[in-house]
Every structure is written in structure tokens, then in C-alpha cells.
Chain A
Amino acid sequence: MSTEETEQGCEGEKSNLHPRSYSQRAITYDKPTAAIFTAAARPSLLARVNDWLNNECVLGYVLLVPALALLLIFVAYPFFFGTYISLTDARIGKPGHFIGLQNFIDLWSDPIFRQTVGNSFFYTIVTTIFKLPLGMLMAILLNQVFPLKRLVRAAVLLPWIIPTVLSTLAWLWMFDSTYSVINRILKDVLNVQGPIWLSDSLYTLRTTDMTIFRLTWPMISISMVNIWRGAPFYAISFLAGMQTIPQELYEAAVVDGAGAWQRFWRITLPLLRHVIIIVLLLSIILTLADFQIVYILTRGGPTNSTHLFATYAFQVAVPSTDLGMGAAISMYMFPVLAIVVFLTLVSLRRED
């Protein structure tokens, strides 16, 4: 988004009102064409609307109306409505009463919610730690010269573009407790007995009276699918960024005796900064707010140990019909998202 143009409002142009014949308007495109409002010319209504729209400023707003109207009705209004619902005890088919922050307070004593918060952060942080270097490695590979390059590029992007629930169904089948093809390969090739991917427990962090966080194979499986699906997005974005870096920079670096490693750290990485920040922003938001992978693989189970904010909100709001509580669970995502967005915008602004 460029900010370099000067902005001017419609009202500033009234000073330009002066009688001018209607037919002359065409050559005044850069100046406001308010001449039609003078009594002298009195053109038809259509011509007047036409001329009014020819005003850069009026047209600018008019063209925004359809998009903004839709976004106001289906994004802005639901956002505030959702905030209101989270402050009520509404259920599906029953309006509910205002109960203040009760839902938000109750959630803190809900062990499933605490596990959900832990899962959401684990999922977002761990997958991002893998996706970022993996994506970079994939981009570097895709930027090399090798046979069938275009085909490989298209193939590598597939996990990201195919409907997530459908590819996750393939993973669900690969994780099957009896027929898991992954375990079959592990057994036949490496002679290793694989876990029961979607139910085995690994590690439990607990105090004497309560469980703080459980790390389970299901959570790891879910993260693996997310990395598989998300890394191509990093890769393709980084690849796009790499292709905008002038080749001369590398040539000059080679002349100066820089090795491949130095060229990467001193040229590629700094020039990709902008792309990296944007990709991280989008990826962190999508991962924290993810729904599909968990919904397909575990539905939050076993025993509610793998919920993320979105799947727990769905389970409470839709099957259990507790809209108020569900909305409150979703709303807990908001401050985290807001902080991520804020930090990104700040770091992007600082560059300009």
C-alpha cells in the first residue's frame, strides 16, 4: 500500500467552482468537475450523475461501497456481535442474558481449556520453528537448476493448495491404528515399531493435584501434518522473494571471495526480511486459528487432549449448543492475534 500520494478530500474542491460549459469537462479530468451545479448549464439527471462520478474523489468512495458494505455486514458487525455473545449465556435457539465476563472467568477453571491454550501455543510455536527453516531450505533447492523444475515446483506446492480436510483425510488413513502405512514402512525398512499415532501418550507435566500439559503422539501427528501442509507456502513465498534479488549482487560477492554460506547470510536473508515477516504473520495467524487438521484427525480427542482454540470453541458452541461460552473461547484468540499483527506492522513500518 503506497502512502506517497497526497490525499485530498472532496470538500477541498468546492473552491474550484466556476462556470464552465458542460462539454468542456473532459479536459478538466485532473480538476474537480463541479461546473454542472451552476445554473447556466442544467444538464440532464443522467449527465449530472455521470459528471458527479467523474469527480475522482466521489468516484473513489462510490467504488469502495460494495466491498466495504459486504465487509461491514459480514466481518465488522459479526466481530462486535461475537464480542457481545461472549458476554452472555446464549445457547442455540435461546437468546440469553448479559452475564459480563463470567464465561471468560469460568474458562480459567476449566482443565480442558487450559490444555487447549497450551496446545495452541505448542502447535503454533513448534510448527513455525520447523516450517521456517524447512521452507527456506525448500526454496533454496527449488531455486537450483535441475530437470523437471517446473513440475517439481508445482508438485511441492500441492499440500498447500489442495483442500486441507481432504489431504488430512489421507493422513488420517496413514495414521490408522491397524493399517498405518507409516508404521508398516518403519517396521519393514528400519525394523522400528511406530507409535499408535492418534492415541499414545508421551509425557505429562503435572503438579501433585493437577495436570498442566500433556504432550501426546496425537499432538505431534497434528503438528507433522501442519508442517507438511505449511512449509510449501513458506517455500514458494521465499522462492518468489529470491527471484527478485538481482543476480549481480551474488556475482559481486563471488568476486569478493564470499562463499555460499556467506552469500546466504549476507545477501539472501537480509533481502528476504520483508517476505519473511509477512509469511510469518500469515502463517502464525492461520496456525493459531487452525481448525481443519485437528477436526479431521482427532476431533480434539482422545479425552479432549488435542483441542485448539477453534476446535474447542466449535465443540462447545455447536454440538454442545453453548454459544456464549464458545464465543468466549474464540475471543481468547483475539488478543494473541492482535499482538502478532501489531508486532508485524511495527517491524514493517520501521523498514519504510
Chain B
Amino acid sequence: MRVKPRAVVMRFATTYIPVFAMTAITLFPFYWMVVTSFKADNELYNIKANPLVVLAPVFTQYQRLFNDTLFPRWITNTLLVSLASTAISLAFSTLAGYSLARLRYRGATTIGWAIFITYLVPPTLLFIPLLGVVSSLGLANSLLSLILVYPTFLIPFGTWMLIGYFKSIPQELEESALVDGATRFQAMFRIVIPLALPGLLSVGIFSFTLSWNEFIYALVFLQDATIKTVPVGVTSELIRGDSFFWGELMAGALLGSVPVAVMYSFLVEYFVAGLTAGAVKG
């Protein structure tokens, strides 16, 4: 098939150029992080140099980040909090999602809506009283406070996504297991949950990244530099007063973003499908 020159021009004008512009604007801040993090201080603060390229790439910013700051510690803390709160939320929302999607009882619809409403309560409405609750439970300034509080925004989301997944599994599979003498529990753990594993995986990954990214609770609950998470540690410990260590900051911001970026790159298509499963069927 011959392609007409005019069609090619149209294609560039309506698709390629706009897609390129969109991608460039979207990615520019990340490019800027990378470029900054590989510059030595004298190049970084040289007003005459072309800021968009690195003339002499160095690892000093990363070395400083790992040797002079608690960054490795913050990574470990964030990993611990994210894994633990994801595990709790995944377990609880699987049970709740199964219950609301597959079992019939009075009040199920109302409870489902109530859980949806908690999904809409923003953390910034609750952080002040939660600080009080966390303190009175003796959890102030500890990672356990975050592990227990993060599920409050993960469970509603997870439950709703899993309701969608559970509903997509044919009722007959479970029924035939029950006819064959399985208990409800067995049917749930041996039939329904294994079939919903892709859903559980994407909810798990999404929960992990939401916990990794959380900011205000971590900012308010934690005081000691040694127990901070990456977002709070980088912003509060690497900015001292009015002095910004841009090289270290950008290195920290980049490394703190990599785990979620990697996880998502595996998941984009999945995520797009899951979003509709949860939202559209609402």
C-alpha cells in the first residue's frame, strides 16, 4: 500500500508531534533529577554552563547520600512499613471483598457503600485526631503507627477492586465445590482466591506504592531521623534550614522513586483494566 505524503504530514501533526510533546513535558522533571544527581557541585552551581547536560558525570552526590545521611535507613524503614501495611490490607480486604461480593446477607450493600465512603475521607482531614489516637495507644514516633494507619486508605481501595475481581469468577465453580462437600472456607481458599490471584497481585502492588508514597502521616507521627520514611527523610533531613543540597536531594528523590516506577512499569496495562473494574462497575 502506498502512503500518501499528505497522510504522513497529518499523522505527524495529529499524533507523533503531540505525543512527543506530551511525553517530553511529563518526563522533564525526572530528566532534571537524573541530570542534577550526576553533576559535581561546581558544575551544578555554574550559571554559565548548559544546565541540560552533564559535562563530567560523577557519583559524589550518591556517595554523600549513602555515607553522610541516613538514606539507607529510610529505605529500609519504608520497605518495612510498605510490606507490612500491604500484607495487612491485602488479607483484610480479601476477606471483606469476598464477603461483599459472594455472600448474601442483610446489610451487605450498606456496608459496601460505607467502605466506599471511607475511601473518600482524605488523610488531611484525620491527621490531627489520629496523632492523638496514635499517642494514646503508645505508638507515637514508631513505625508500627504507620503500619496500622496505612491500611485505612488501602483497605477501602483494595476491597472495592477485589469485589470486582471476585464477581468476575463464575459462581458455578464455587457451587460445585460446595456440592462436592467443601465448606465455604475451603471453597474460598481453594477455588475463589486462587482464581483471583491476578487481582490480588495488582491490589498488592498498588497498596505497596501508596504506602511507599504516603507523606502526611509519616511527617506528623515520626520525629526521630532514624525512623523516618524516604519521602519524609529526604524532605526534612536533606533540607537544613535554608540550605538545599540539590545534588543529594535529586539523587535521593530519584532513588526513592525507582522502586515504584519499576513496579508500575510491569503493571500499567493491568492497572488500566483494574481501574475500570473497580470504578466503572461502581
Total inter-chain residue pairs, C-beta < 8 Å: 322
- Report the count of interface residues on B (CB-CB < 8 A): 109
Closest chain A residue, CB of each to CB of B180: A26
Given A8-B106, A164-B215, residue A60 in contact with residue B99 (CB < 8 A): yes
* A75 and B45 contact, CB distance less than 8 A: no
* A141 and B112 contact, CB distance less than 8 A: no
| CA gap between A77 and B132 in the complex, in Å | 11
Complex contacts, A165 vs chain B, CB 8 Å: 215, 231, 234-235
* A5 and B155 contact, CB distance less than 8 A: no
Tell me how far the C-beta of A237 lies from the nearest C-beta in chain B, rounded to whole angstroms. Answer: 6
B246-275 contact mask (Cβ, 8 Å, vs A): 1 or 0 = 100110111011001100110011011101
Among B1-9, B28-36, B61-69, B196-204, the stretch that binds chain A is: B28-36
* A170 and B33 contact, CB distance less than 8 A: yes
* B261 and A1 contact, CB distance less than 8 A: no
Closest chain B residue, CB of each to CB of A58: B105
Interface: B56 (CB within 8 A): no
The residues in A between 33 and 66 inclusive whose CB is less than 8 angstroms from any CB of B are 50, 53-54, 56-57, 59-61, 63-64, 66
Interface: A258 (CB within 8 A): no
| CA gap between A17 and B252 in the complex, in Å | 65
Interface: A117 (CB within 8 A): no
Interface: B243 (CB within 8 A): no
- Report the count of interface residues on A (CB-CB < 8 A): 110
Q: Choose among B27, B149, B244, B246 the residue that contacts A155 (Cβ–Cβ < 8 A).
A: B27
* B184 and A54 contact, CB distance less than 8 A: yes
| CA gap between A184 and B51 in the complex, in Å | 8
| CA gap between A248 and B32 in the complex, in Å | 44
Summarize B's interface: helix, strand, loop or mixed.
Answer: helix
Interface: B212 (CB within 8 A): yes
* B276 and A244 contact, CB distance less than 8 A: yes
| CA gap between A300 and B81 in the complex, in Å | 29
Complex contacts, B122 vs chain A, CB 8 Å: 285-286, 288-289, 310, 333, 337
Hey, which bits of chain A sit against chain B, CB under 8 A? 1-3, 5-10, 26-27, 29, 50, 53-54, 56-57, 59-61, 63-64, 66-68, 70-71, 73-79, 81-82, 85, 137-138, 141-142, 144, 146, 150, 152-159, 161-167, 169-174, 176, 178-179, 181, 184, 228, 232, 236-237, 239-241, 243-244, 274-275, 278-279, 281-282, 285-286, 288-292, 295-296, 309-310, 313-314, 317-318, 323, 326-327, 330-331, 333-334, 337, 341, 348
* A70 and B92 contact, CB distance less than 8 A: yes
Tell me how far the C-beta of B151 lies from the nearest C-beta in chain A, rounded to whole angstroms. Answer: 6
Q: Choose among A59, A141, A274 the residue that contacts B18 (Cβ–Cβ < 8 A).
A: A141
* B250 and A236 contact, CB distance less than 8 A: no
Closest chain B residue, CB of each to CB of A165: B231
* B230 and A163 contact, CB distance less than 8 A: yes
Interface: B222 (CB within 8 A): no
Closest chain A residue, CB of each to CB of B25: A228
Q: Choose among B160, B250, B272 the residue that contacts A170 (Cβ–Cβ < 8 A).
A: B250
Closest chain B residue, CB of each to CB of A3: B109
17 A-B Cβ contacts within 8 A?
A1-B282, A26-B180, A26-B181, A26-B183, A50-B183, A59-B99, A63-B98, A63-B99, A82-B129, A85-B132, A159-B26, A163-B212, A172-B244, A181-B52, A290-B124, A313-B124, A348-B282
Nearest first, the 10 A-B pairs at minimum CB distance are: A289-B122, A82-B129, A310-B124, A9-B106, A63-B99, A29-B178, A60-B103, A67-B96, A166-B253, A78-B129
Tell me how far the C-beta of B130 lies from the nearest C-beta in chain A, rounded to whole angstroms. Answer: 5
* A141 and B215 contact, CB distance less than 8 A: no
* B120 and A337 contact, CB distance less than 8 A: yes
Q: Choose among B26, B109, B184, B234 the residue that contacts A232 (Cβ–Cβ < 8 A).
A: B26
* B125 and A334 contact, CB distance less than 8 A: yes
Complex contacts, A169 vs chain B, CB 8 Å: 234-235, 249-250, 253
Interface: B13 (CB within 8 A): no
Complex contacts, B276 vs chain A, CB 8 Å: 240-241, 243-244, 275
| CA gap between A166 and B156 in the complex, in Å | 26
| CA gap between A17 and B167 in the complex, in Å | 30
* A150 and B257 contact, CB distance less than 8 A: no
Extra 5 A-B pairs, beta carbons < 8 Å, given A26-B182, A155-B23, A163-B257? A26-B179, A63-B96, A64-B100, A75-B121, A236-B271
